[in-house]
Amino acid sequence: MERHFDEELQALKLQLMKMSALAEAMIGEAVRALVDRDEKVIATVYEREKEVNHLQVVIDEMCLTLIALHQPAAGDLRFILGAAKTNSDLERLADQAVNIVDKTTKLLQEPPLRPFIIIPKMATLVRAMVRDSLHAFVNRDTKLAGAVLIRDDEVDALKRQITVELSELMTKDPGSVSRALALILIARNLERVGDHATNIAENSIFVVEGRDVRHHGG
């Protein structure tokens, strides 16, 4: 009753896409909970986390089964190892949504500090990076992967900007310290989402070109 290798590889890709869509949605929801001060969305994020954790186990087992049953050729083997690594990155970037809602729960107990501008911008950016990095991975699209790598600099610049602005605010207004610190840490959670997308993009180049761009020095 063994399925054909290509069929199983396709099933693996579908599960990765499902997991990526879930993780990306969680990031969007976490930031929406913060910006719209919507506590109901927080519960959704915690619910989805369980689903992501389950998918991670399923995908790892699919990778193991694919290798054990089909002894794939070098290129496919590289893809499956890349898939297992991408799987870890997706699970960990979804964890960042949980980190964000953990802080949001506390933030909603106090009045908002100032209008949200940079955090929603960062969220939009890193969500697109997640989407594109996964797309690059499953479609072995190195051009798209390269485009993801470049966008990480934008994310870093926004993180630096919000850190400077909120540090200034903390210095001027001691009453802002706990909220400003929470927002700085949320910006860093989003930065980490971008880092994971970058890892996935690097995995995809490694799979296709058989060369390692993770330490390309730029």
Q: Which residues bind a second copy (CB under 8 A)?
A: 50, 53-54, 56-57, 60, 63-64, 67-68, 71, 74, 77-78, 81, 84-85, 88, 163, 167, 170-172, 174-175, 177-178, 181, 184-185, 188, 199, 206, 212, 214-215
Least separation in angstroms between residue 215's CB and a second copy is 4
- Residues 19 and 23: their CA atoms lie apart, in Å, by 6
Q: Are 48 and 33 in contact (CB under 8 A)?
A: no
With contact defined as beta carbons under 8 Å apart, do 142 and 136 qualify? yes
- Smallest distance from a second copy to CB 36, Å: 26
Compare residues 115 and 174 and give the one whose CB is closer to a second copy.
Answer: 174
Give the residue with the Cβ less far from a second copy, 35 or 181. Answer: 181
**CB within 8 A of 14, min separation 6: which ones?**
none
Alpha carbon 196 to its chain centroid, in Å, reads: 5
Residue nearer to a second copy on the CB measure, 17 or 170: 170
Helix (H) or strand (E) holding 115: none
Rounded Cα distance between 162 and 183, Å, is 9
CB of 200 to a second copy, least distance (A): 12
C-beta of 35 vs 58, nearer to a second copy: 58
Name the H helices within 36-141. 39-70, 74-107, 118-138
Length of the chain counted residue by residue:
218
Instruction: Give the separation between CA 145 and CA 150, rounded to whole angstroms.
Output: 9
Nearest to 199 by CA among 145, 125, 122: 145
Least distance CB 154 / a second copy (angstroms): 19
Least distance (Å) between residue 218 CB and a second copy: 13
- Separation between Cα atoms, residue 148 and residue 62, nearest integer Å: 27
Q: Which is nearer to a second copy, 32 or 204 (CB)?
A: 204
CB of 38 vs a second copy, minimal distance in Å? 26
The residue among 4 and 215 lying less far from a second copy, judged by its C-beta, is 215
